[in-house]
Amino acid sequence: MTPSHPDPSTSGQGRPIATWPVSEARPALAPAAQRVLRNTYALLAMTLLLSAAVAVLSLALQLPGPGPLLGLAISLGLLWAVHRLQHSAWALPAVFALTGFMGYSLGPLLTRSLALPGGTEAVALALASTGATFLALSSYVLLTRRDFGFLGGFLTAGLLIALLAGVAALLLQIPALALTVSVGVALLSAALILYETSRIVHGGETNYVLATVGLYVSLFNLFTSLLSLFGLGGSDD
């Protein structure tokens, strides 16, 4: 008589042994999403390098800034131009014009920051924190494939409120309000990184120009907000 082989899923007493379910493999990105993601990160790297170069040049030459309100108006105008030209051959020049101008406007802020005691360390910390935040949040979305599309309405309302509060803080010169705005903008910028990356992953954003601008503006606002929270961004001393 042939001896029977024990069932590996049962114990010697015939009781079933608990087994762990095999986790499902993470689905691969669609080819279109992969292409948008690749082009977005490539263009984002170029815009960040351009902004850094212009900011360093502005810092070295001690160029005067455009002023907060004028700078905001020009940035919004160039942002509108990018959206207007997103499907034309002028889209990339508009992106580089926007990011170059924002780099130029960063020069005076860095000048004031570096002139303060411990300014170099604080700027480096703000830069490192911005990079680490972007890498952590982007990696989280890419690894988990979680959809953050539900944040769209909240972010739109939050950005509008932050814009109005920021203008009010600038005109009324209220330090507590400016600090609150900086905290809010930092949190909104982090949420926007999640939102924009999620839209690319799930096919909600198919234009890499707009995706790049969305991530760039989030990084720029996150960096400047961190400088302000470190007590550097709004200092005129």
Instruction: DSSP letter for 151, please.
Output: G
In a 13 Å sphere around the CA of 75, the CA atoms on its Cβ side amount to: 21
pLDDT in tens, the chain (237 residues): 444 444 444 444 454 444 434 344 566 777 888 899 999 999 999 999 999 999 999 888 888 878 778 888 899 999 999 999 988 889 999 999 999 999 999 888 888 888 777 778 888 899 999 999 999 999 999 998 888 888 888 888 988 888 888 788 777 777 778 788 888 889 999 999 999 999 999 888 889 999 999 999 999 999 999 988 876 444 544
- CB-based burial, 161-177: b 16+ in 10 Å, e otherwise: ebeebbeebbeeeeeee
pTM of the model: 0.82
